[in-house]
Structure 1
Amino acid sequence: MTDPQTLNDDVLQELERGSVEKATSLLDQGLKKWPGSLRLKLTRSDVLIRAGAREEAAEHLAALLDREEAARWAGPRLLTLVKEQPLPAEVAGRLVKPVAAGALEERVKTQLLDALLAGRDAETRVAWLEPVARGAGLFRLEWLLAVALTESCRLEEAVALLEESRLAGRGTARSLLLEAELRAAGGHPEAALDILRDVTRDHPELPDGFRRRIAIARRACRFDECAAVLEEALGKWPGDWSFPYLMNRVPLAPAALSRLFPMLEAAAAAPGRTERFAFQYALAALHAVRLEEAVKVLGSGFAEPTVAYMAGPVAAALAARDPEAWRAGSRLVDDRTRDVLVTRAEGAEATFVLTTGMAFGYLPLPLIDTLFAEQRVNVIYLRDFRNLAYLRGVTSLGPDEASTIAALRGLIGELGARRLVVVGASLGGYSSLRYGALLGADAAVSFSGRTTLEDGLAEARPTIWNPAFFVRQMWLAQGELPRDLVPVLAGAPEMEVLHIHSAGAAEDVAQAQRIAQLPNVRLHAVPGVSDHYAVDHMIGDGSFGALIAALRDGRRWEA
């Protein structure tokens, strides 16, 4: 043994010959003679791996990370080892601390931490990261811990950690977006907006900052801000389909819609627009009462299955009348920033209450009013700006559900009709059945509506990349809310309940079956349809009008 290099070469040759035992013996002798040799220490990991001791090799390499010279070589070797095959949890957990504290290049440290944490549940990641991230002043560790805390549903701790990082100047655009989402989900949309305004100012190149700001401004009922940010975003990213999507969901005043739609129209005329963009443009054209344009776009056909799934039902509904008939028959000039709109019919026999979203099915409310006007009924159109299935009431009618119901009773009494019917579609269908029972309605109709909100909340996968997870957290932050319709409907036996859904929509069928045993409930499956938009198909084939007439008169409706 003349020098470490020569000995190292001898060890490697023995490994090539498959003589692991001899290589181990030579290496032990060399390290005894030259205990400070980095080359021999690194080769120790190769010998351990060949001996089948991967975990021991990993811990050996991790012990070399505290000095920069050694870490430069040991870090990439450890990364390769961890990526080839995940380590047992007890070993990986022990490595997090030396990796986090190691004198590693930032890129390698990030990749190593990601590899060690990959596939571990949130609670495990929190347990491993908390001892090394708290007080370390290293953003990467703070970010990983904040994500783990979020996915463990420890939102307040995650917000505190992200805020600490932000105030110390270590935050990034991504961490600011997460903090904003968490603050909004926790019931503090104004605090979230303060952060997002900074993001869109400091990172004007990031469309996601604009998307989130629009969505959370909507939740905070700052509709003018929604319109202003949309206008800026449409100018920056005219071909991005997500902005017309948001434009169709945000409550826009008529003046704002008139200002924004020409921008969208110009963008739609450019070549290369995706089918998703074209579909959202068609919906925006409906809201702008540019019905001929919507008919043209929807009639062009869609090859992408997810788009065709949505476009087919709205095209079928729109085809029920020509554009001029749709326009001429409506009594309603919509303002999407108002959450209560009323249309009246002289001598009306019935008042209908519609628990809507931004629309009813896919058609905007002025087109829906054409259908009700034909039946000579009053209609109260509601919107839930709190986005809580009306369980916290309608903003302009009161601070909660009870005061909203009281205000609605007064409005219904003023209209003076003999019968009361409540109607809703999708999530609005859940609300229509609940509000029908609370109002003492003669009948309530749900199109493809849920009958419990528990399933949808429980199914939200806990990851920061899943928008439904934040929706679930928003709901949980509200405390105990009634989510099951069965006891509500059982307590209103005099009310006729009609649940209409597509025959082939498995989830909608399952929701309907939950209330099938109640004596006042009738289910109707629309034959030959498998999507979620039963109401649009019924508008298209004319059966919706027959249903409204029967409900108006108090007759039993037969499909």
Structure 2
Amino acid sequence: MSLSIADLPPLDNRRVKTSTDDVLVDRVVAGDILVIAFGFVSWETRPDFDFYGRLKKLEQLSGRHINKILVRDSGNSWYHRRVDGLGAHPDETAASLRALIDAIRPAKVITIGQSMGAYAALMYGLLLEADQVLAFGPLSFLDPAQALLYHERRWLSVIRDLAAKPPPSRYYDLQALGLSRAGALPDIHLLFGTKPDADNTKEAVNLDAMHAHRLALMGNCTLYPYPYSGHTVVQHLIDTRRINALLARIIMGVELAEEERVVTPDWHGWIADNLRLGGAPDELIAILEHHGFSHASSFAAVTAAAR
């Protein structure tokens, strides 16, 4: 890096979108929190950096600066092979990230990611002894035998490739990695959908829920199940306007007012139908809240329909 870490210019949307690098570091303010964000998989194009826009929004809402390191795995190898600018395998990448953390001197280190990025957030959060981890829909293992045992075939080609050509350092079971840690674990937040994976099924089968409960056995984990989301739980939280308040509360300890959503005519019809069929008002309110409507608007809509 040609510039001193203290002299780095601030990132902007254009650079984040057009950069050919695998790692970007935003303007540094020593003593502020640091968020290391890991990108998710992309098969058709190079993976994007993730959470930059959300973190900028969080800065605006909180009035506080956030140090940021943005990382992506251009090879879609669940951060086990080369990440240009950081390392050729997890231990090398962790060492480079540790050096950046030492140079930034943050008050707190947080790792975050979704799907493939969630695996990295957990793996590097544990390796770096981060203060906090936010993982949206993570796998808990990259082991072919366990994948077949649990019918986890979504990324089986990647899992088999890593087994056939293992990198010099590897962490194929995050539960085992967490249980092997001698010190205190990070404050781990696991966010996942619990909607059945297959459409039109009557079975309550969701692989992300299985992985979350495996990871919870490490300890120090808070589970956030979302019954109306599948694997893309971040998009669900965006669609239901809950992502900003959730990130503000977990990352910054700031409580934001609920984003108001108007209960639409379709939902009013759904409320009326369910009340007619014997649905309990409290349950209907809870379902509306799961879809991102505030408690106040949910309560008002159900109460009005029940009259």
Common fold: TM-score over 0.5: yes
Matches of 1:458 and 1:372, distance apart in 2:
33
Q: Which residue of 1 aligns with 2:186?
A: 495
Q: Which residue of 2 aligns with 1:482?
A: 171
Deviation at 1:388, TM superposition (A): 2.3
Matches of 2:70 and 2:145, distance apart in 1:
25
Matches of 2:50 and 2:113, distance apart in 1:
15
Q: Which residue of 2 aligns with 1:536?
A: 235
Q: Given the alignment of the two structures, is residue 333 of structure 1 paired with residue 16 of structure 2, yes or no?
A: yes
Higher helix share: 1
RMSD: 3.4
Contact 1:419–1:552 (8 Å) recurs in 2: no
Letter in 2 for 1:417: P
Matches of 2:219 and 2:156, distance apart in 1:
36
Q: Given the alignment of the two structures, is residue 520 of structure 1 paired with residue 220 of structure 2, yes or no?
A: yes
Contact 1:350–1:419 (8 Å) recurs in 2: yes
Matches of 1:467 and 1:544, distance apart in 2:
25
Q: Given the alignment of the two structures, is residue 410 of structure 1 paired with residue 99 of structure 2, yes or no?
A: yes
Contact 2:110–2:133 (8 Å) recurs in 1: yes
Matches of 1:403 and 1:503, distance apart in 2:
35
Could you say if the C-alpha distance between residues 548 and 417 of structure 1 is closer, same or farther in structure 2, counting changes exceeding 3 Å? farther
Letter in 2 for 1:419: K
Q: Which runs of structure 2 are paired with 1:346-495 in the superposition (5 Å)?
A: 346=29, 349-357=32-40, 365=48, 368-376=51-59, 377-392=66-81, 394-454=83-143, 458-459=147-148, 471-479=158-166, 481-490=170-179, 491=181, 493-495=184-186
Could you say if the C-alpha distance between residues 345 and 403 of structure 1 is closer, same or farther in structure 2, counting changes exceeding 3 Å? closer
User: Tell me, which stretches of 5 or more residues in structure 1 are unaligned?
Assistant: 1-328, 461-465
Matches of 2:56 and 2:156, distance apart in 1:
40
Deviation at 1:369, TM superposition (A): 1.8
SS in 1 for 2:96: helix
Contact 1:341–1:381 (8 Å) recurs in 2: yes
Deviation at 1:422, TM superposition (A): 0.5
Matches of 1:392 and 1:507, distance apart in 2:
25
Higher strand share: 2
Matches of 1:429 and 1:397, distance apart in 2:
18
Contact 2:38–2:50 (8 Å) recurs in 1: no
Could you say if the C-alpha distance between residues 552 and 509 of structure 1 is closer, same or farther in structure 2, counting changes exceeding 3 Å? closer
| Paired residue total | 221
Deviation at 1:537, TM superposition (A): 1.4
Identity of aligned residues (%): 26
Matches of 1:371 and 1:467, distance apart in 2:
27
Matches of 1:501 and 1:512, distance apart in 2:
7
Could you say if the C-alpha distance between residues 542 and 344 of structure 1 is closer, same or farther in structure 2, counting changes exceeding 3 Å? farther
Matches of 1:525 and 1:388, distance apart in 2:
26
Deviation at 1:373, TM superposition (A): 1.0
Could you say if the C-alpha distance between residues 508 and 469 of structure 1 is closer, same or farther in structure 2, counting changes exceeding 3 Å? closer
Higher RCO structure, 1 or 2 (CA under 8 Å, sep 6+)? 2
Matches of 1:365 and 1:467, distance apart in 2:
20
**Which one of the candidate residues 333, 342, 345 is aligned to 2:25?**
342
Matches of 1:336 and 1:456, distance apart in 2:
38
Deviation at 1:372, TM superposition (A): 0.5
Deviations 1:467-513 (A, max 9, x none): 96754542222238431111222325331111100121411111111
Could you say if the C-alpha distance between residues 509 and 386 of structure 1 is closer, same or farther in structure 2, counting changes exceeding 3 Å? same
Could you say if the C-alpha distance between residues 440 and 554 of structure 1 is closer, same or farther in structure 2, counting changes exceeding 3 Å? farther
Deviation at 1:533, TM superposition (A): 0.3
SS in 2 for 1:397: coil
Contact 1:332–1:369 (8 Å) recurs in 2: no
Could you say if the C-alpha distance between residues 334 and 551 of structure 1 is closer, same or farther in structure 2, counting changes exceeding 3 Å? same
Q: Which residue of 2 aligns with 1:119?
A: none
